[in-house]
Chains A and B, each alone.
Chain A
Amino acid sequence: MLDLTPKEQSERSALRINPIKTCQPVGAMYAALGVHACMPHSHGSQGCCSFHRMFLSRHFKDPAIASSSSFTEGASVFGGGANLKTAIKNIFDIYNPDIIAVHTTCLSETIGDDLVGYINDAKIPEGKIVVHTNTPSYVGSHITGYYNMITGFIKYLAEATGEKNNKLALLPGFVNPGDMREMKRLMTIMGVEYIMLPDTSGVMDAPMTGSYNMYPKGGTTISDIKDLGNCELTLALGELTSEFPADFLEKKCKVPYQTLPLPIGVENTDAFIMALNHFSKNEVPYEIDEERGQLMDILLDSHQYTYNKSVAIYGDPDTVLGLAQITMEMGMIPKYLVTGTPGKIFEEKAKMLFDKFGLEGCVAKAAADLFELHQWIKNDSVDLLIGGTHGKYVARAEDIPLVRVGFPIIDRYVHSYMPIVGYKGAIRLAELILNALMDRQDRDCEDEDMEMVM
């Protein structure tokens, strides 16, 4: 497995090997799927659209709809205006969404297609909407595409009518439907009225009923997106993912915002609950105390299996930072934190976490890849890996247990239904981590050391 990866590291400045990121449009597609009755549209050649739908279906084990402008070489040279206009007509005729959310690819970005002009010229049926965002694949990663699309919705739709709605605008970060459900549950328990954008719960985890519905019940409604402009406050979860659209909403509609890490782990969830508490001014209900107390009980009960265990975490920046937090709360040492998404701020935030827990010798790197992480591990190994599917090759090559968390997970089921955020999510993460480490102890110990009770 990965036999060609040498232990000796060499400087690489041009070659990316085994990336921990993918390109912008798939993030935009995912964000658009979190809007009710929305058709994501990829303005480029159709290969991108197929690849992106394919990956979302593989991760969620659910349909991921999207259409494409299907550029040919002619359009690539002379512009894709006619393609987009034809597409818009056909999409409304055949698939009848309420809204089309257009994103771009490296093709239409390189040729400089003027989307605003095209959309203005397009025939859009009465009561229907077309929005767009620019998602050049050669900038950032899928995370960038995700927040660009959210910003696109805000840009086209959010309005400050002058009448406040007393709601909290929640930007959930790049997380699974299971996480979005958990965030909504916590806000409901806390008595917070909210608008969440996007909301893929009910879309990418839609139930099996025996009849397929192209636009399932879930998704943020268009009227709610409009109403974002009347919110009291935006809570932007996942600072590296959600701050950009929150800032845009503030500039456009004067909705102030607060950024917080993804609520992964004890302190990050505490911060989320405190922010909700501050917003609602309601007392925190016992239900939340109980969940938090259960989590603390579990962390203390099980600490002997996690204390000082080293872990390498890879994935999307905010997810990795959140996972680093909870592993440190479990007494583990997050020796390597890597993301493929560029941005030095990831490294700075990681450093602050290491300092907070008094850890030395841990490394964080943005714009890194799995090949590099593997080489670090070959030189100085870890007890556990946490990340998406692509790390399973490293896990096997180096015989390290892997806990699958993040995006994409294309080789396991159920994960996208279950939260990693909130105290409930932390309890689940604790179980996953403990099971991985304890299964390994059971597998590796001598027969005479096998424990019945652990």
Chain B
Amino acid sequence: MDSKEKVLDKYSSKVYKNRKEHVITIEEGEPNVIQADTRAIPGIMTNRGCCYAGCKGVVLSPLKDVAIITHGPIGCGFYTWGTRRHKAKGDENTQSFGEYCFSTDMQETDIVFGGEKKLKKAIKEVFEIFKPNCIMICSTCPVGLIGDDIHAVAAEAEELYGIKILAFSCEGYKGVSQSGGHHIANNGLMRSVIGTGDAEPMKYSVNLLGEYNIGGDGWETERILKRIGYNVVSVMTGDGSYAELKNAHTADLNLVQCHRSINYIAEMMKTKYGIDWIKVNFIGLDGIKKSLRDMALFFNDPDLIARTEAVIADEEEEIAEGMAHYKTRLEGKTAAIYVGGSRTHHYINLLKTLGVEVVLAGYEFGHRDDYEGRDVLPSIKRDADSKNVESITVEKDPENFKSILTPERLEELKNAGVHLEEYNGLWSDINDNTVVTDDYNHFETEEFLKLLKPDIFFSGIKDKFLIQKSGVPSRQLHSYDYAGPYAGFRGALNFAKDITMAVYTPAWNLVEAPWKNTPTLEGSLGGTE
């Protein structure tokens, strides 16, 4: 029995039947198929969160100049206040709401008589105290059940105060994970924000999509892009803003870092404005270099291409010695990596560069295309649990639509290995025999730890201390354990340094008390000497 079977075998037949589709071993030459984006099994201790977390916590919160009101009891707002490390910086022209948590703090009477009145009042109070340019409202579980019409309230308030006010129906029970929330947020931003600005188009302009600036990742990425000569029109949404997002349609190329959370907008912008997107990866040296070279080929400007190579050479030079040093300390180690919907893939190459092999991988809420590549999209059926998450369609915008590439150029790019509107998924970079676990849970985490004994385990806060207590170094790849950035060349070096620290911290050698492995009584009473 392989380790996967050993773990699954402990389940009851009903759970086994469900989980065996989600836990697979990658086999050479096979079309590896996984089940994903289905409901979590009650009681199994899934690591997943909810739709509200995906919408408000992930996609919307990083927009710094937006005052987001959580419409619900206090918890949801409280837990998403300052806990995801999407860094942002305001200036004299840009309000920054990152340090604030706004909630309608619903009480029993609001549940009984409806919360619309309180929501209207809360909007008024936010408007009067802060005078923001944009307010967003995010609903929580009870809102949908009691029938508060937050969209009507938003429309009325928009009229009243003359600022943008958007509502998002991201009740926690919608869909099966955070993923539904991403989609809902994408729909709202596409429908009401993107394309409403009137900025002049710029040369070499790009949007950075699905980059949330955790620990400064987005800033590090932007630093490199600017060095080469790109203009970043907007970032969705790390250190992003409502003001920037309005003009996103003026860019020439969309760069998709997190495919899962933002591919909807990438697709819709292609349809509506003709803007191409490429899947980039600014984590790990190979990923960064490929991304930068793809971009240069897309714009096809000899100067840009030359600057790209110069910057790559310079940045690589800066970290080369450090990377080589850490590689000597990490070579031959094995790793497990369980993250949300994209980092699992992104970090595999960086780990490879450091000589670390991934033996166990998984997503909380990736879809099959994140594992298997977008080619499988036509064969994915949406099941009943996700039908309540709206899919919207957009039309070609007659005024702003542009075709940047000729069919010939498109063909050339394809031949050069630049794949527009494509993503090959986790499979494209994963080793044979790796165990892959979708919607990973506590039990499987514990069991695979024992069976596969990785030298380091990357996941989140809920697992961190159980892994560490098991004797295995654990680094969080959501919060980066309060460090970072990990993106870009300098980020790669930070990462290498941090995981070396996790593996070699002296306390690991002191865990066992000396009296546990040395006899306390020294032989006089007729021992077995």
Q: Hey, which chain A residues are within 8 Å of B196, CB to CB?
A: none
Confirm or deny: A137 has a beta carbon within 8 angstroms of a beta carbon on chain B.
Answer: yes
**Which listed residue, A4, A87, A110, A139, touches B130 by the CB 8 Å rule?**
A4
Instruction: Report which of A4, A21, A340 forms a contact with B97, defined as CB distance below 8 A.
Output: A4
Within 8 A of B (CB), among A131-157: 136-139, 141
Contact A138 B111 (CB under 8 A): yes
**Interchain CA distance A1-B76 in the complex, whole Å:** 23
By the criterion CB–CB under 8 Å, are A83 and B42 in contact? yes
A54 near B442 with CB under 8 A, answer no
- By CB atoms of chain A within 10 A, which of B48, B99, B107 has the most? B99
Q: Which residue of B lies closest to A370 (CB)?
A: B101
> In angstroms, how far is the closest chain A Cβ from the Cβ of B465?
5
Could you say which residues of chain B place their CB within 8 Å of the CB of A13? 121, 125
Q: Is B78 an interface residue (CB 8 A)?
A: yes
Are the C-beta atoms of A210 and B512 separated by less than 8 Å?
A: yes
B172 lies within 8 A of A48 (CB): yes
A54 to B388, CA, bound (A): 27
Is A76 a contact partner of B173 (Cβ separation < 8 A)? yes
Given A73-B173, A209-B511: A65 touches B45 (CB 8 Å cut-off): yes
B467's nearest neighbour on chain A, judged by CB, is A212
B49 touches A50 (CB 8 A): yes
| Contact of B469 with A14 in the complex, beta carbons under 8 Å | no
B107 engages A138 (CB within 8 Å): yes
Question: A95 contacts which of B45, B126, B467 (Cβ < 8 Å)?
Answer: B45
> Are A107 and B142 in contact, CB atoms less than 8 angstroms apart?
yes
Q: A residues within 8 A CB of B384?
A: 74
Instruction: Flag the segment in B67-75, B184-192, B198-206, B488-496 that touches A.
Output: B67-75
Q: A22-B78, A106-B140 are in contact. Are A45 and B469 (CB under 8 A)?
A: no
Mask of A167-199 contacts with B, CB within 8 angstroms, 1/0: 000000000000000000000000000000000
Residues of A close to B442: CB separation below 8 A: 65, 95
- Partner among A3, A47, A75, A90 whose Cβ is within 8 Å of the Cβ of B44: A90
**B-binding segment of A55-63, A243-251, A320-328, A440-448:** A55-63
Contact B511 A212, beta carbon cutoff 8 Å? no
Are B72 and A106 in contact, with the CB atoms below 8 A?
Answer: yes
Q: Is the CB of B121 within 8 A of A137?
A: no
Contact A84 B42 (CB under 8 A): yes
CB distance from A238 to the nearest CB of B (A): 21
Query: A14-B118, A50-B48, A212-B470 known; A57 and B43 CB under 8 Å?
Result: no
Among B50-58, B303-311, B394-402, B412-420, the one that faces the other chain is B50-58
A72-99 interface bits toward B, Cβ cutoff 8 Å, 1 = contact, 0 = none = 1111100000011011111101110000
**Among B119, B129, B463, residue most surrounded by chain A Cβ atoms (within 10 Å):** B129
**Structural contact, B470 and A25, CB atoms closer than 8 A:** no
| Interface contact A72-B173, CB-CB below 8 Å | yes
Q: Are A12 and B125 in touch, CB under 8 angstroms?
A: yes
Assess whether A95 is in contact with B104, with CB atoms less than 8 Å apart: no
Determine the chain B residues whose CB is within 8 A of the CB of A213 once the complex forms: 469
Residue B83 at the A interface, CB < 8 A?
yes
Expressed in whole angstroms, the Cα–Cα distance for A16 and B100 within the complex equals: 10
Given the complex, which residues of A lie within 8 Å of B10, measured CB to CB?
94
How far apart are the CA atoms of A84 and B41 in the complex, in Å? 11
Given A54-B462, A94-B443, A69-B107 contact (CB < 8 Å): no
Q: Mark B162-177, 1 if CB is under 8 A from A, else 0.
A: 0000000001111010
Number of A interface residues in the complex (CB < 8 A)? 82
In the complex, chain B residues whose CB is within 8 Å of the CB of A19:
74, 77-78, 101, 103, 105
Q: For residue B467, which residues in chain A have a CB less than 8 angstroms away from its CB?
A: 212
B-chain residues with CB within 8 Å of residue A72 when the two chains form the complex = 39, 173, 176, 385
**Given the contacts A70-B42, A72-B173, A210-B512, A47 and B52 also touching, CB distance less than 8 Å:** yes
Known: A13-B121, A63-B469, A210-B471. A107 touches B41 (CB 8 A): no
B297 at interface by CB-CB < 8 Å:
no
Q: List residues of chain B with CB within 8 A of the CB of A65.
A: 45, 442
| Distance, CA A45 to CA B142, complexed state (A) | 11
A291–B321 alpha-carbon span in the complex (Å):
56
Q: Which residues of A contact B30 (CB under 8 A)?
A: none
> In the assembled complex, which residues on chain A have CB atoms less than 8 Å from the CB atom of B1?
none
* Residue of chain B at shortest CB distance from A23: B75
Whether A46 lies near B50 (C-beta < 8 A) is yes
* Pick from B51, B53, B73: contact of A138, CB under 8 Å: B73
Known: A14-B125, A16-B104. A208 touches B469 (CB 8 A): yes
Whole-angstrom distance between the Cβ of A325 and the nearest chain B Cβ: 27
Q: Does A393 have its Cβ within 8 Å of any Cβ on chain B?
A: yes
Q: Which residue of B lies closest to A138 (CB)?
A: B73
Q: Are A15 and B78 in contact (CB under 8 A)?
A: no
- Known A83-B42, A87-B43; contact A10-B128, beta-carbon cutoff 8 A: yes
Are B75 and A212 neighbours in the complex by a CB distance under 8 Å? no
Residues A89 and B43 in contact in the complex (CB < 8 Å), given A1-B99, A139-B108 = yes
* A416 on interface, CB distance cutoff 8 Å: no
Least Cβ–Cβ distance between B192 and chain A, in angstroms: 23
A15 touches B126 (CB 8 A): yes
Could you say which residues of chain A place their CB within 8 Å of the CB of B79? 22, 51-52, 54-55
Among A48, A93, A139, which residue has its beta carbon within 8 angstroms of that of B12?
A93
Q: Which of B12, B75, B171 contacts A51 (CB 8 A)?
A: B75
Q: Please name all residues of chain A whose beta carbon is closer than 8 Å to the beta carbon of B176 when the two chains form the complex.
A: 72
- Shortest B276–chain A CB gap in Å is 35
B110 lies within 8 A of chain A by Cβ:
yes
Interface residues of B in 14-63 (CB under 8 A from A): 15, 39-53
**A15 adjacent to B125 (CB under 8 Å):** yes
Which residue from A44, A70, A76, A111 sits with its C-beta under 8 Å from B39? Answer: A70
Among B15, B43, B108, B388, the residue within 8 A (CB) of A67 is: B43
For residue A68, CB closer than 8 A to chain B, the reply is yes
Asked if A53 CB lies within 8 Å of chain B CBs, one says: yes
Q: Does B103 contact A16, Cβ atoms closer than 8 Å?
A: yes
Give complex CA distance A393, B460 in Å: 25
B73 close to A23 (CB less than 8 A) = yes
How far is it, in angstroms, between the C-alpha of A54 and the C-alpha of B44 when the chains are bound?
17
A74 to B73 alpha-carbon distance, docked (Å) = 22
Does any Cβ of A come within 8 Å of B193's Cβ?
A: no
Residues of chain B within 8 A (CB-CB) of A47 are 48-53, 76, 172
Once bound together, how far apart are the Cα atoms of A68 and B100, in whole Å? 29
Once A4-B97, A212-B466 are accepted as A-B contacts, the answer to whether A107 and B172 lie under 8 Å apart by CB is: yes
Query: Which residues of the other chain, A, contact B121 by a CB distance below 8 angstroms?
Result: 13-15
Residue of B nearest to A87 (CB): B43
**A211 at the binding interface (Cβ < 8 Å):** yes
| Contact in complex: A106, B73 (CB < 8 Å) | yes
Contact at B145–A137, with CB atoms within 8 Å?
no
Any A CB within 8 A of the CB of B134: no
Give Cα distance in the complex from A138 to B96, angstroms: 29
Distance in angstroms between the alpha carbons of A76 and B147 in the assembled complex: 13
Q: Are B42 and A211 in contact (CB under 8 A)?
A: no
B83/A212 in contact, CB under 8 A? no
Task: List residues of chain B with CB within 8 A of the CB of A106.
Answer: 72-73, 75, 106, 111, 140-142
- Report if A86-B43 is in contact (Cβ < 8 Å); known contacts: A4-B100, A19-B78, A137-B74: yes
Residue of B43, B51, B171, B468 near A41 (CB, 8 A) is B43
Interface: B446 (CB within 8 A)? yes
Q: Which of A2, A18, A74, A91 sits near B385, CB closer than 8 Å?
A: A74
In the complex, A393→B97 CA distance in Å? 13
**Interface residue A332 (Cβ < 8 Å from any Cβ of B):** no
Q: Does chain A have a CB within 8 A of B431?
A: no
**A17 close to B100 (CB less than 8 A):** yes
With CB as the reference atom, state the residue of chain B lying closest to A44.
Answer: B141
A-B contact pairs, 17 of them (CB 8 A): A4-B100, A10-B129, A14-B121, A19-B78, A22-B78, A45-B173, A47-B49, A51-B75, A68-B45, A91-B43, A94-B15, A106-B72, A106-B111, A136-B111, A139-B107, A206-B469, A210-B471
Closest 9 CB pairs of A and B: A47-B50, A87-B43, A23-B75, A14-B121, A90-B43, A16-B105, A87-B42, A137-B73, A51-B79
Q: What 7 new A-B contacts, CB under 8 Å, besides A57-B462, A63-B466, A214-B446?
A: A19-B101, A23-B78, A46-B46, A58-B461, A94-B43, A94-B44, A136-B73
